[in-house]
Structure 1
Amino acid sequence: MNNKYKNIWWGIFILLFSFLISGCSSSATGDKQAKASNTKGLKVINIGYQKFGTLNILKAKGSLEKDLKPFGYTVKWTEFPGGPQLLEALNVGSLDFGHTGEAPPIFAQAAGAPLVYYANATANPKGEAIIVPENSPIKSLKDLKGKKIALNKGSNVHFLLVKALEKAGIPYEDVKTVFLPPADARAAFEKGDVDAWVIWDPFFADAERATHARILADGTGLVNNREFFLATSKFAKENPKVLNVIFKELKKTDEWVKGNPKDAAKFLAPQIGMSVDTLELTLNRRTFGLEMMNDKVAKDQQQIADAFYKLKLIPQDIQVQDALLKTTN
């Protein structure tokens, strides 16, 4: 082929390549513009969620964005490994709303976080437990004395450990706490680097199935293990109607899961990367029901705060009532 034809073919190639690049660029730009047009003029509510929970399911269903649009809001979702990390983000202003267990709000309030309790789920004591390896010599809570116990510091399970040791007559200082997030705690548990692990569902169910771990004690008779929904005090004060929409959607989601546990497990499995069997186990022992935060639940929270202060796990004595949503008639 002479230089004349080489130049012609090279020119055609460059033209076609430029056309393809231009087409892809236009398509990508079009997608971005379409997405931007859907959220144009809308304010963003930053919501934090964890691996599992009613809020997580609501996020996966995608209905909240539709219901909040008439109120001028869209949603940005951010996943966190645990409640303490989520509330730290809320404390520094990165989140407006999120969910945690009982203990994280206590630590956050003691640290001065501008949070308010908005709503809570019913007690779910079987949803967390102290587990040990299948062949562990540990047979009862009394055997935990002097042992290394993994847990996520400041999470619900922290209070479960406190109450379990109290029941067994073991001073808190007589065990070796190893503070690890769930993924790292699972690795330490499987390698035998810790003697026991205090963990919540669905991590609890997943470890139970995969490692044949034994349940030393769950929360029954020890703790309530409630899920709480919290907002920054500023957001709650300025957006009561938005919070009401979120609460209604959470209730609808909770009712759907209660009536369709198998479908919920299948729906969630690919969303969170856990097996259907693990999620079915989690949902089958879970309780259902949501309510607005009330004085009775606040008193239960105060007991946790008092216990943590007595053990010097929090730096100051706090009043949970100070973090309740103030309403005006």
Structure 2
Amino acid sequence: MSTRRLALPLALLLLPLATACGTGTDGGAGAKSVTVTVGYQSKTINTVTAGTLLRSLGHFEEELAAQGRKDGITYRVNWQDYATGAPITAQMTAGKIDIGSMGDFPLLLNAARGKQLKQSTRLVSVTGYNLRGGLNTVVTAPGSPLRSLTDLKGRKVSTSVGSAADGTLVRALQRAGLDPAKDVRKLNQQPSVGASALAAGSADALSQFVAWPGLLAFQGRATALYDGAELDLPTFHGVTVREEFAKERPEVLDAFLRAQRRATDELRTRPVASAESVAKETGLPAEVVYLYNGAQGIATFDPALRPELVAALKEDVPVLAAAGLVKEVDVDAFVDPAPLARAVPGAAYPEAGAPKPELWLKGQGSTRTFDGPGALLKAVREAGAGRVRAAYVPDAVTGTLWFADRAVWVRDGGEWRAFVTRAGAERYVAGHPGSRITGYAEAVGAAS
């Protein structure tokens, strides 16, 4: 994919921000025409059930049309696409966006900023999550001499300050014994800018959120240095709404949450078709979308405000406070499960099981899963490299799904194991005498 396609279209970024929303000139009490403005991030594919996929399916518009037949109001949806959550928060607190989706750290900034400006917001649902933190990854350029987080000392690392990926970077550096404020030079950059900086050599590493690490790895433009799942701390994206709008238009919020549930059902029951749809809308490769959003993907999609996620949100507050980005956030006041319970009562999805290796062959509208890495390698060999669209394998320790041909493989006797990072593979080998790191091609050729 070219740099031009990586960047959001300029025309999209410059969508008029003055469009009337639910509380605007055409949407006040007693209005017969209401425009609902939704802010989303098309490239942040962990939010697709409240953004890209939802928009393409038209479920929100359908729910509003049904509502309009009941109350005699004509509803229109104005979708606005952004690269990160920060501009969505800015427009929400200005009263110009009614509903938005963003990651956990930006959600806290959304809550803090809303309270500060007396434009309170509420977290009403989740889009996708990973209970170990695998949605964020630190990557380096191919051929980089950097092998672990400690190698980042004195180096330049690109990230989006205040994002979930920045939070992962801060915590990971601290666990590695480094001071994020002193031992590395953080470059505060948009994801696309950071990707270009990594390619140009002006950044030594890039810490970003879904789907940038996977995209760059797929393109051969990056190698994973640190798997966010090593933190073993949940990370997620969610839906936030202006409190004033939610009180004035509860029926609209209910319609959105019903539509989000329908989009979630679509993604979970038709993962390949959903990945193809999101790829078409965003210009991202479908193979990358599926890495995160597929049946075994890194993200689990469920609108429920799970206790583990709320607890993780509370643990995120001190990280933002230490960076001077917030003073305090009342998470309990910010999280509001009532609208989801009202709109989609009793909705629940089964717990996600351990991910399995998965193979996607060219020309196929479905994938195959396998009980272990060895079986996947054998299937790849039998299919022939020319027929493989994508092969995915979970990290042997963290469970984070990764591209099989980008993973680091270890042979341990007759067993095969894969790792997202070389550091992870080296730790395994150090603890298992006789095991050794091997290349993907060798692994495929030797699998039986």
TM-score band, normalised by the shorter chain? Answer: 0.7 to 0.9
Q: Is residue 2:197 matched to residue 1:185?
A: no
Report the AA paired with residue 170 of structure 1.
L
For 1:282, which of 284, 288, 292 is the aligned residue?
Answer: 292
CA-to-partner distance for each residue in 1:221-280, whole Å, 9 max, x for gaps? 423220110001111222223222211221221221122222112212221112222222
CA shift for structure 1 position 187: 0.8
Q: Is residue 2:135 matched to residue 1:127?
A: yes
Report the AA paired with residue 308 of structure 1.
L
The equivalent residue for 2:40 is 49
With the length of structure 2 as denominator, give the TM-score of the two structures: 0.61
Q: Is residue 2:324 matched to residue 1:313?
A: yes
Once residues 147 and 190 of structure 2 are traced to their aligned partners in structure 1, the CA distance between those partners, rounded to angstroms, is 25
For 1:219, which of 219, 223, 228 is the aligned residue?
Answer: 228
Once residues 129 and 137 of structure 2 are traced to their aligned partners in structure 1, the CA distance between those partners, rounded to angstroms, is 14
1:87-166 aligned at under 5 Å gives the runs 87-111=89-113, 112=116, 114-124=120-130, 125-166=133-174
CA-to-partner distance for each residue in 1:133-188, whole Å, 9 max, x for gaps? 11111101111122111111221111111111121111111211101111111111
Q: Gaps (5+ residues) in structure 1? A: 1-38
Once residues 315 and 122 of structure 1 are traced to their aligned partners in structure 2, the CA distance between those partners, rounded to angstroms, is 24
CA shift for structure 1 position 289: 3.2
Q: Which moves more between the two structures, 158-167 or 69-78? A: 69-78
CA shift for structure 1 position 101: 0.5
Once residues 135 and 323 of structure 2 are traced to their aligned partners in structure 1, the CA distance between those partners, rounded to angstroms, is 26
* 1:323 to 1:313, Cα distance in 2 relative to 1, 3 A: same
Q: What's the Cα RMSD here?
A: 2.3
Report the AA paired with residue 325 of structure 1.
D
The equivalent residue for 1:19 is none
Fraction of identical pairs, as percent: 21
Report the AA paired with residue 210 of structure 2.
D
Once residues 326 and 272 of structure 1 are traced to their aligned partners in structure 2, the CA distance between those partners, rounded to angstroms, is 30
Report the AA paired with residue 115 of structure 1.
T
Q: Which moves more between the two structures, 281-290 or 152-161? A: 281-290
The equivalent residue for 1:69 is 65
With the length of structure 1 as denominator, give the TM-score of the two structures: 0.81
Is 1:110–1:314's contact at 8 Å kept on the other side of the alignment? Answer: no
For 1:293, which of 276, 299, 305 is the aligned residue?
Answer: 305
The 3-state SS of whatever aligns with 1:263 is helix
The equivalent residue for 1:255 is 265
The 3-state SS of whatever aligns with 1:81 is coil
CA shift for structure 1 position 327: 5.4
Q: Is residue 2:208 matched to residue 1:199?
A: yes
User: Aligned residues, how many?
Assistant: 290
Once residues 167 and 244 of structure 2 are traced to their aligned partners in structure 1, the CA distance between those partners, rounded to angstroms, is 29
CA shift for structure 1 position 212: 4.2
Is 1:132–1:138's contact at 8 Å kept on the other side of the alignment? Answer: yes
Q: Gaps (5+ residues) in structure 2? A: 1-26, 68-72, 343-448
The equivalent residue for 1:34 is none
The 3-state SS of whatever aligns with 2:138 is strand
Q: Which moves more between the two structures, 204-213 or 189-198? A: 204-213
Report the AA paired with residue 224 of structure 2.
I
The equivalent residue for 1:25 is none
* 1:221 to 1:255, Cα distance in 2 relative to 1, 3 A: farther
CA shift for structure 1 position 59: 0.7
